[in-house]
Amino acid sequence: MAGVSKAKGRKATLRSLAKINLDLRILNKNPDGYHELRTVFQTISLADTIDIDYQNAQRREISIQDPANIADNLIVRAANAVLDELRLGGRLHFSLEKKIPMGGGLGGGSSNAAAVLLALPVLAGRHIPLERLTAIAHGLGSDVPFFLHGGTQIGLGRGTELYRLAELRKDPVLLVFPPVQVPTGPAYQALGRSLTFTGSSSSINSFQAFVWALEVRRSAAAASELSANDFESVVFTQFPQLSQIAARLRKVTGGARNAGVRMSGSGSTVFALFESEEDRQRAISSLSRDRAMRGCRVIQASLVSRGAYQRMWRRRLSMHLDPKDNSWPPRSRYER
Ligand code: C5P
Protein backbone atom coordinates (compact mmCIF):
# COMPACT_ATOMS: atom_id res chain seq x y z
CA MET A 1 0.00 0.00 0.00
CA ALA A 2 1.86 3.03 -1.32
CA GLY A 3 -0.21 5.46 0.77
CA VAL A 4 0.87 3.82 3.99
CA SER A 5 4.60 3.89 3.23
CA LYS A 6 4.34 7.52 2.14
CA ALA A 7 2.79 8.53 5.44
CA LYS A 8 5.39 6.57 7.45
CA GLY A 9 7.35 8.77 9.81
CA ARG A 10 11.04 8.87 10.56
CA LYS A 11 11.61 7.21 13.90
CA ALA A 12 14.36 6.87 16.45
CA THR A 13 14.68 5.47 19.94
CA LEU A 14 16.85 7.76 22.03
CA ARG A 15 18.63 7.21 25.32
CA SER A 16 18.60 10.35 27.41
CA LEU A 17 21.33 10.05 30.06
CA ALA A 18 21.40 11.47 33.58
CA LYS A 19 24.18 13.61 35.06
CA ILE A 20 25.75 13.97 38.45
CA ASN A 21 27.70 16.95 39.74
CA LEU A 22 31.10 15.65 40.79
CA ASP A 23 31.62 19.02 42.49
CA LEU A 24 29.40 22.10 42.97
CA ARG A 25 30.34 25.46 44.47
CA ILE A 26 27.91 28.33 44.76
CA LEU A 27 29.63 31.71 44.71
CA ASN A 28 28.04 35.17 44.88
CA LYS A 29 24.53 36.10 43.87
CA ASN A 30 24.40 38.11 40.63
CA PRO A 31 22.33 41.31 40.26
CA ASP A 32 19.74 39.28 38.26
CA GLY A 33 19.14 37.12 41.34
CA TYR A 34 20.85 34.02 39.95
CA HIS A 35 23.97 32.63 41.52
CA GLU A 36 27.41 32.29 39.99
CA LEU A 37 28.56 28.71 40.19
CA ARG A 38 31.46 26.38 39.53
CA THR A 39 30.64 22.78 38.84
CA VAL A 40 31.90 19.60 37.20
CA PHE A 41 29.15 17.82 35.29
CA GLN A 42 29.42 14.13 34.49
CA THR A 43 27.09 11.98 32.37
CA ILE A 44 26.19 8.56 33.79
CA SER A 45 24.62 5.44 32.27
CA LEU A 46 21.21 5.82 33.98
CA ALA A 47 18.84 6.86 31.17
CA ASP A 48 15.28 7.60 30.11
CA THR A 49 14.12 6.21 26.77
CA ILE A 50 12.42 8.53 24.30
CA ASP A 51 10.76 7.21 21.14
CA ILE A 52 10.39 9.96 18.58
CA ASP A 53 8.32 9.76 15.43
CA TYR A 54 8.45 12.65 12.96
CA GLN A 55 6.35 13.19 9.85
CA ASN A 56 6.68 16.11 7.53
CA ALA A 57 3.45 18.17 7.60
CA GLN A 58 2.30 21.74 7.01
CA ARG A 59 0.66 22.06 10.37
CA ARG A 60 2.33 21.47 13.69
CA GLU A 61 1.00 18.69 15.89
CA ILE A 62 2.99 17.52 18.90
CA SER A 63 1.80 14.74 21.18
CA ILE A 64 3.48 12.87 23.99
CA GLN A 65 2.79 9.64 25.80
CA ASP A 66 4.20 10.16 29.25
CA PRO A 67 3.16 7.84 32.08
CA ALA A 68 4.71 10.27 34.59
CA ASN A 69 2.36 13.02 33.35
CA ILE A 70 4.97 15.75 33.60
CA ALA A 71 3.43 19.23 33.42
CA ASP A 72 4.84 21.53 30.73
CA ASN A 73 7.20 18.77 29.56
CA LEU A 74 10.58 20.12 28.37
CA ILE A 75 10.43 17.59 25.50
CA VAL A 76 7.50 19.50 23.99
CA ARG A 77 9.13 22.87 24.67
CA ALA A 78 12.34 21.70 23.00
CA ALA A 79 10.42 20.34 19.99
CA ASN A 80 8.59 23.68 19.57
CA ALA A 81 11.90 25.56 19.87
CA VAL A 82 13.50 23.42 17.12
CA LEU A 83 10.50 23.74 14.77
CA ASP A 84 10.38 27.52 15.40
CA GLU A 85 14.07 27.79 14.57
CA LEU A 86 13.62 25.79 11.36
CA ARG A 87 10.29 27.48 10.51
CA LEU A 88 8.78 24.03 10.03
CA GLY A 89 5.51 22.29 10.72
CA GLY A 90 5.46 18.58 11.45
CA ARG A 91 3.55 15.81 13.10
CA LEU A 92 5.56 14.68 16.08
CA HIS A 93 4.86 11.96 18.57
CA PHE A 94 7.01 11.20 21.61
CA SER A 95 6.81 8.30 23.99
CA LEU A 96 8.75 8.70 27.22
CA GLU A 97 9.88 5.96 29.55
CA LYS A 98 11.17 7.62 32.70
CA LYS A 99 13.97 5.93 34.64
CA ILE A 100 15.77 9.04 35.92
CA PRO A 101 14.15 10.08 39.23
CA MET A 102 12.48 13.47 39.00
CA GLY A 103 13.57 16.19 41.41
CA GLY A 104 16.71 14.22 42.18
CA GLY A 105 19.38 16.65 40.93
CA LEU A 106 20.15 14.28 38.04
CA GLY A 107 19.15 16.60 35.19
CA GLY A 108 16.52 14.27 33.67
CA GLY A 109 14.31 17.02 32.22
CA SER A 110 17.32 18.91 30.83
CA SER A 111 18.69 15.74 29.27
CA ASN A 112 15.31 14.99 27.64
CA ALA A 113 15.29 18.50 26.15
CA ALA A 114 18.83 18.12 24.77
CA ALA A 115 17.89 14.75 23.27
CA VAL A 116 15.18 16.46 21.21
CA LEU A 117 17.59 19.25 20.17
CA LEU A 118 20.06 16.65 18.86
CA ALA A 119 17.59 14.27 17.21
CA LEU A 120 14.80 16.37 15.73
CA PRO A 121 16.88 18.37 13.20
CA VAL A 122 18.34 15.05 11.96
CA LEU A 123 14.88 13.52 11.47
CA ALA A 124 13.60 16.72 9.84
CA GLY A 125 16.54 16.69 7.40
CA ARG A 126 17.86 20.05 8.54
CA HIS A 127 20.93 21.36 10.31
CA ILE A 128 21.13 23.78 13.23
CA PRO A 129 24.73 24.96 13.78
CA LEU A 130 26.11 24.22 17.23
CA GLU A 131 26.16 27.90 18.18
CA ARG A 132 22.39 28.28 17.55
CA LEU A 133 21.62 24.93 19.15
CA THR A 134 23.53 26.04 22.26
CA ALA A 135 21.54 29.30 22.43
CA ILE A 136 18.26 27.35 22.18
CA ALA A 137 19.48 24.94 24.87
CA HIS A 138 20.35 27.86 27.13
CA GLY A 139 16.81 29.23 26.75
CA LEU A 140 15.35 25.89 27.88
CA GLY A 141 17.38 25.56 31.11
CA SER A 142 20.80 25.93 32.69
CA ASP A 143 21.77 22.23 32.46
CA VAL A 144 20.59 21.69 28.86
CA PRO A 145 23.76 22.95 27.03
CA PHE A 146 25.89 20.41 28.94
CA PHE A 147 23.82 17.53 27.53
CA LEU A 148 24.54 18.62 23.94
CA HIS A 149 28.05 17.16 24.50
CA GLY A 150 28.04 14.98 27.63
CA GLY A 151 31.12 13.49 29.29
CA THR A 152 33.04 15.45 31.91
CA GLN A 153 32.78 19.23 31.72
CA ILE A 154 33.36 22.25 33.92
CA GLY A 155 30.37 24.62 34.09
CA LEU A 156 30.84 28.29 35.03
CA GLY A 157 28.38 31.19 35.34
CA ARG A 158 24.95 29.57 35.55
CA GLY A 159 26.56 26.32 34.46
CA THR A 160 26.22 27.19 30.79
CA GLU A 161 29.79 28.31 30.12
CA LEU A 162 31.32 24.91 29.51
CA TYR A 163 34.88 23.57 29.28
CA ARG A 164 35.73 19.98 28.46
CA LEU A 165 37.88 17.94 30.79
CA ALA A 166 39.97 14.89 29.94
CA GLU A 167 38.14 11.56 29.85
CA LEU A 168 37.88 9.74 33.17
CA ARG A 169 37.85 6.06 34.02
CA LYS A 170 34.42 4.40 34.01
CA ASP A 171 34.19 4.26 37.81
CA PRO A 172 31.12 2.44 39.18
CA VAL A 173 28.62 4.68 40.97
CA LEU A 174 25.80 3.94 43.36
CA LEU A 175 22.92 6.42 43.51
CA VAL A 176 20.56 6.65 46.44
CA PHE A 177 17.35 8.54 45.71
CA PRO A 178 15.30 9.15 48.86
CA PRO A 179 11.56 9.91 48.91
CA VAL A 180 12.33 13.61 49.42
CA GLN A 181 11.90 16.54 47.02
CA VAL A 182 14.32 19.44 47.55
CA PRO A 183 13.01 22.67 45.99
CA THR A 184 15.93 24.34 44.18
CA GLY A 185 15.03 28.03 44.68
CA PRO A 186 14.75 27.83 48.50
CA ALA A 187 18.01 25.79 48.64
CA TYR A 188 19.82 28.71 46.95
CA GLN A 189 18.15 31.20 49.29
CA ALA A 190 19.14 29.14 52.34
CA LEU A 191 22.81 29.57 51.38
CA GLY A 192 22.37 33.30 52.12
CA ARG A 193 24.86 34.43 49.46
CA SER A 194 25.05 38.19 48.85
CA LEU A 195 26.22 40.18 45.84
CA THR A 196 29.53 40.57 47.65
CA PHE A 197 30.08 37.06 49.00
CA THR A 198 33.61 37.05 50.38
CA GLY A 199 34.21 33.30 50.27
CA SER A 200 34.47 33.12 46.47
CA SER A 201 38.23 33.10 46.06
CA SER A 202 38.92 30.31 48.56
CA SER A 203 36.03 28.34 47.07
CA ILE A 204 37.46 28.79 43.55
CA ASN A 205 40.91 27.72 44.78
CA SER A 206 39.63 24.50 46.27
CA PHE A 207 37.46 23.85 43.17
CA GLN A 208 40.58 24.20 41.05
CA ALA A 209 42.43 21.78 43.29
CA PHE A 210 39.66 19.23 42.67
CA VAL A 211 39.76 19.79 38.91
CA TRP A 212 43.53 19.42 38.94
CA ALA A 213 43.22 16.13 40.85
CA LEU A 214 40.69 14.91 38.26
CA GLU A 215 43.06 15.79 35.43
CA VAL A 216 45.99 14.03 37.07
CA ARG A 217 44.23 10.96 38.53
CA ARG A 218 41.69 10.51 35.70
CA SER A 219 39.26 9.00 38.19
CA ALA A 220 36.34 10.73 39.90
CA ALA A 221 36.56 8.24 42.77
CA ALA A 222 40.27 8.89 43.27
CA ALA A 223 39.82 12.69 43.19
CA SER A 224 36.68 12.79 45.31
CA GLU A 225 38.47 13.46 48.60
CA LEU A 226 38.96 17.02 47.26
CA SER A 227 35.38 17.49 46.04
CA ALA A 228 32.56 19.47 47.67
CA ASN A 229 28.93 20.38 47.15
CA ASP A 230 28.00 23.65 48.88
CA PHE A 231 24.34 22.66 49.06
CA GLU A 232 25.06 19.73 51.37
CA SER A 233 25.35 21.86 54.53
CA VAL A 234 21.95 23.55 54.10
CA VAL A 235 20.06 20.65 52.51
CA PHE A 236 21.35 18.04 55.00
CA THR A 237 20.21 20.27 57.87
CA GLN A 238 16.74 20.64 56.40
CA PHE A 239 16.38 16.97 55.36
CA PRO A 240 18.11 14.80 57.98
CA GLN A 241 17.44 11.58 56.02
CA LEU A 242 19.88 12.80 53.36
CA SER A 243 22.53 13.42 55.96
CA GLN A 244 21.96 9.90 57.37
CA ILE A 245 22.22 8.37 53.90
CA ALA A 246 25.49 10.20 53.22
CA ALA A 247 26.85 9.05 56.60
CA ARG A 248 25.88 5.40 55.91
CA LEU A 249 27.39 5.53 52.44
CA ARG A 250 30.58 6.96 53.89
CA LYS A 251 30.65 4.18 56.46
CA VAL A 252 30.14 1.35 53.97
CA THR A 253 32.67 2.85 51.56
CA GLY A 254 35.11 3.49 54.40
CA GLY A 255 36.95 0.22 53.80
CA ALA A 256 37.24 0.90 50.09
CA ARG A 257 40.25 2.77 48.80
CA ASN A 258 39.35 6.05 47.08
CA ALA A 259 35.57 5.99 47.41
CA GLY A 260 33.70 9.29 47.55
CA VAL A 261 30.23 10.32 48.68
CA ARG A 262 28.46 13.49 47.48
CA MET A 263 25.01 14.90 46.84
CA SER A 264 24.13 15.74 43.22
CA GLY A 265 22.94 19.29 42.42
CA SER A 266 20.66 20.61 45.16
CA GLY A 267 19.58 17.03 45.91
CA SER A 268 17.96 14.84 46.70
CA THR A 269 20.18 12.12 45.19
CA VAL A 270 23.28 11.14 47.15
CA PHE A 271 25.89 9.10 45.28
CA ALA A 272 28.98 7.08 46.04
CA LEU A 273 31.86 6.56 43.60
CA PHE A 274 33.99 3.44 43.69
CA GLU A 275 37.24 2.34 42.14
CA SER A 276 36.08 -1.23 41.61
CA GLU A 277 32.94 -3.30 41.11
CA GLU A 278 33.85 -5.45 44.15
CA ASP A 279 33.85 -2.37 46.38
CA ARG A 280 30.44 -1.36 45.06
CA GLN A 281 28.92 -4.83 45.59
CA ARG A 282 30.30 -4.96 49.12
CA ALA A 283 28.68 -1.58 49.84
CA ILE A 284 25.32 -2.69 48.39
CA SER A 285 25.16 -5.77 50.57
CA SER A 286 25.99 -3.81 53.74
CA LEU A 287 23.32 -1.23 52.89
CA SER A 288 20.51 -3.66 52.19
CA ARG A 289 19.34 -3.90 55.80
CA ASP A 290 19.96 -0.28 56.70
CA ARG A 291 17.02 1.71 58.08
CA ALA A 292 18.27 5.02 56.63
CA MET A 293 17.65 3.50 53.17
CA ARG A 294 13.93 3.00 53.79
CA GLY A 295 11.85 4.12 50.81
CA CYS A 296 14.99 4.89 48.78
CA ARG A 297 15.68 3.81 45.23
CA VAL A 298 19.20 2.43 44.98
CA ILE A 299 20.52 2.57 41.41
CA GLN A 300 23.76 1.24 39.93
CA ALA A 301 25.33 3.19 37.07
CA SER A 302 28.72 4.04 35.61
CA LEU A 303 30.35 7.20 34.32
CA VAL A 304 29.94 7.85 30.59
CA SER A 305 32.68 9.74 28.76
CA ARG A 306 32.06 12.33 26.03
CA GLY A 307 33.41 9.92 23.41
CA ALA A 308 31.03 7.16 24.53
CA TYR A 309 28.12 9.65 24.73
CA GLN A 310 28.65 10.87 21.19
CA ARG A 311 29.14 7.32 19.83
CA MET A 312 25.86 6.35 21.48
CA TRP A 313 24.14 9.26 19.74
CA ARG A 314 25.52 8.29 16.33
CA ARG A 315 24.42 4.69 16.89
CA ARG A 316 20.90 5.70 17.93
CA LEU A 317 20.47 7.97 14.89
CA SER A 318 22.60 5.92 12.47
CA MET A 319 19.92 5.15 9.85
CA HIS A 320 19.19 8.90 9.50
CA LEU A 321 22.79 10.17 9.45
CA ASP A 322 25.04 11.15 6.60
CA PRO A 323 27.56 8.24 6.72
CA LYS A 324 30.41 10.43 5.41
CA ASP A 325 29.99 13.11 8.04
CA ASN A 326 31.80 13.01 11.34
CA SER A 327 30.95 16.44 12.73
CA TRP A 328 29.07 17.34 15.89
CA PRO A 329 26.11 17.70 16.19
CA PRO A 330 25.60 14.80 13.77
CA ARG A 331 24.22 15.71 10.33
CA SER A 332 21.19 14.29 8.62
CA ARG A 333 21.31 12.20 5.44
CA TYR A 334 18.09 13.91 4.33
CA GLU A 335 19.66 17.38 4.11
CA ARG A 336 19.38 18.98 0.70
O1 C5P B 1 17.43 26.36 37.21
P2 C5P B 1 16.14 26.24 37.96
O3 C5P B 1 14.97 26.78 37.21
O4 C5P B 1 15.91 24.89 38.56
O5 C5P B 1 16.30 27.24 39.21
C6 C5P B 1 15.30 27.39 40.20
C7 C5P B 1 15.64 28.60 41.06
O8 C5P B 1 16.93 28.43 41.68
C9 C5P B 1 15.73 29.90 40.30
O10 C5P B 1 14.48 30.51 40.14
C11 C5P B 1 16.65 30.73 41.19
O12 C5P B 1 15.93 31.25 42.29
C13 C5P B 1 17.60 29.68 41.78
N14 C5P B 1 18.87 29.65 41.03
C15 C5P B 1 19.87 30.55 41.38
N16 C5P B 1 21.07 30.52 40.71
C17 C5P B 1 21.30 29.61 39.73
C18 C5P B 1 20.30 28.69 39.37
C19 C5P B 1 19.08 28.73 40.05
O20 C5P B 1 19.69 31.37 42.27
N21 C5P B 1 22.50 29.59 39.12
Using only the alpha carbons of the chain, give its radius of gyration. Answer: 21
185 Cα–ligand 1 center, Å? 5
Q: Which atom of ligand 1 is nearest to the CA of 141?
A: 1
Q: Is the CB of 158 under 6 A from ligand 1?
A: yes
6 Cα–ligand 1 center, Å? 46
Q: Is the CB of 28 under 6 A from ligand 1?
A: no
139 Cα–ligand 1 center, Å? 13
This prediction has a pTM of 0.95
Annotated catalytic residue, options 23, 48, 143, 279: 143
Residue 6 has pLDDT above 70, yes or no: no
Identify whether 11 is a catalytic site residue: no
Q: What is the pLDDT of residues 247-269, one digit of tens each?
A: 999 998 876 666 799 999 999 99
Q: Is the CB of 286 under 6 A from ligand 1?
A: no
User: How confident is residue 199, by pLDDT bands cut at 50, 70 and 90?
Assistant: confident
Q: Is the CB of 193 under 6 A from ligand 1?
A: no
Helices (H), the chain: 2-7, 74-86, 108-124, 130-140, 144-147, 184-191, 200-217, 220-223, 231-238, 240-253, 277-287, 306-316
Beta strand pairing status for 60-65 and 90-97? Answer: parallel
State the Cα angle at 239 between 233 and 243, rounded to 5°.
Answer: 60
Q: Is the CB of 184 under 6 A from ligand 1?
A: yes
201 Cα–ligand 1 center, Å? 22
Of all protein residues, the one whose alpha carbon is nearest to atom 13 of ligand 1 is 185
DSSP 10: E
Question: Three-state SS for 89?
Answer: coil
Of 106, 103, 98, give the one whose Cα is nearest residue 75.
98
The dihedrals phi and psi of 50, each to the nearest 5 degrees, come to -125, 115
Q: What is the pLDDT of residues 291-328, one digit of tens each?
A: 889 999 999 999 999 999 999 999 999 999 999 999 99
Q: Is the CB of 142 under 6 A from ligand 1?
A: yes
pLDDT at 336: 83
pLDDT at 60: 97
Identify whether 19 is a catalytic site residue: yes
